Amino acid sequence: MATKIPVTVITGFLGSGKTSIIRHLLQNNQGRRIAVLVNEFGELGIDGELLKSCQICPEDEIEANQETQNNNNIFELTNGCLCCTVQEEFYPTMRELIKRRDSIDYIIIETSGLALPKPLVKAFRWQEIRNAATVDAVITVVDCAAVAAGTFASDLDAIAAQRQEDDSLEHETPLQELFEDQLACADLVILNKTDLVDSETQAQVLELVKNELPRVVKIVSSDYGKLDPSILLGFAAAVEDNLDSRPSHHDTEEDHDHDDEINSTHVILDRTFDPEKLQSRLEKLAQEQEIYRIKGFVAVANKPMRLVMQGVGNRFDKFYDRPWKLEEAKQTSLVFIGRNLQSSEIESQLVSL
């Protein structure tokens, strides 16, 4: 019987650093053949693009589009919270990956910020999946600075926006309980963004996390998600077989109403921007409108590389991730998530810059 494909589930709130951790893992995969499932949010697949830009996959795989996705190592699941759309979203994708099991060493699943790990892990008990794949580990990423502040996530409004826009989401839970659920299912906890707190605060967060864990779990610290792959892979925990030891507040949930005022929009412009001026304009827009999250790619004049720009609350990060391809349009594409967004005003503000 063929060896089961080990699957690592990476969970954590919006902005905790899950994508950065996976990106570093792909860039330092040590020859491992890794497939990634991304539970994306918003109309443009920014997180999926960030992972594809690691330049690990062959060029013909990176360029595969949605219609030929079975030839791609990055799968973007965009139809809602993964724990609530297991049958519709996750199952068909896993079936495709299982067909390619001879060419895959590991599967990484990045859940959305509101996903509960346990319902997803339960899907690995389904016969067709159980025979071919096993959950190697659940890894929970903790935003150290946000937990120290008592908010658990760096931008509560962005979390609310993500929760309300996702019509498939079947659970509305306090962040404290969701935080506890993510920890309760974990085989490894990563205290991320430790560079934003002092050593005393980090020690306090570590103690808080330990107190929330229902059993002994390894805890590691990270700056910018830079961890050796050997820390993240190879647990052989077979999580699907021992879920009873991973208690959850949310094994059963009721439907809830959604706020139709929460929406996302995107802007694509065939032009370049000065990064500092663009960030200043985006900060101004975030003050004028209820914009919770901004993320995307920016074309910069006389720069051969694509600039990644991300904003959560009042905090913006930017870095160059890869060179523009010869056949690729040097466009600026940004996704905005917020309440009652005025798309035309956002675009006109950027066009006039």
Q: What percent of the chain has pLDDT over 90?
A: 33
pLDDT mean across residues, the chain: 79
Q: Who's near 185: CB < 8 A, 6+ residues apart?
A: 11, 117, 118, 121, 138, 140, 239, 246, 248
DSSP conformational letter for 312:
E
Listed ranges 198-212, 235-249, 334-348; the one with the highest mean pLDDT: 198-212
* Contact by Cβ (8 Å): 75, 37: yes
Dihedrals φ, ψ of 270, to 5°?
A: -85, 65
pLDDT at residue 126 above 50?
A: yes
- 311 vs 270, higher pLDDT: 270
Q: Over the stretch 81-100, which tens digit does the pLDDT of each residue have? A: 555 556 556 777 888 889 88
pLDDT in the model for residue 47: 58
pLDDT in the model for residue 270: 93
Query: Which residues are 322's β-sheet partners?
Result: 306
Q: Worst-scoring range by mean pLDDT, 74-78, 168-172, 219-223, 259-263?
A: 168-172
* Contact by Cβ (8 Å): 72, 61: yes
pLDDT at residue 167 above 60?
A: no
Q: Worst-scoring range by mean pLDDT, 52-66, 228-242, 338-352?
A: 52-66
pLDDT in the model for residue 50: 61
* Cβ neighbour number for residue 89 with a 10 Å cutoff: 20
- Of the pLDDT bands very low, low, confident and very high (cuts 50, 70, 90), residue 80 is low
- Of the pLDDT bands very low, low, confident and very high (cuts 50, 70, 90), residue 66 is very low
Q: What distance in Å separates the CA atoms of residue 41 and residue 124, rounded to the nearest whole number? A: 23
pLDDT in the model for residue 17: 87
pLDDT in the model for residue 327: 85
Q: What distance in Å separates the CA atoms of residue 123 and residue 243, rounded to the nearest whole number? A: 12
pTM above 0.75, yes or no: no
Side by side, the strands of the sheet bearing 74-77 are 74-77, 34-39, 106-110, 5-11, 133-143, 188-192, 218-221
Please report the beta strands in the chain, taking only residues with DSSP state E, as ranges in sequence order: 5-11, 34-39, 74-77, 106-110, 133-143, 188-192, 218-221, 262-269, 290-298, 305-312, 315-323, 332-339
Q: Worst-scoring range by mean pLDDT, 34-38, 50-54, 62-66, 221-225?
A: 62-66
- Of the pLDDT bands very low, low, confident and very high (cuts 50, 70, 90), residue 243 is confident
pLDDT in the model for residue 73: 80
Query: Which residues are 191's β-sheet partners?
Result: 142, 221
Q: What distance in Å separates the CA atoms of residue 89 and residue 86, rounded to the nearest whole number? A: 6
Locate tokens 């975030």: which residue? 286
- Of the pLDDT bands very low, low, confident and very high (cuts 50, 70, 90), residue 59 is very low
The domains found in the chain, sorted by start residue, are: 5-245 (3.40.50.300), 262-352 (3.30.1220.10)
Q: Who's near 29: CB < 8 A, 6+ residues apart?
A: 56, 229
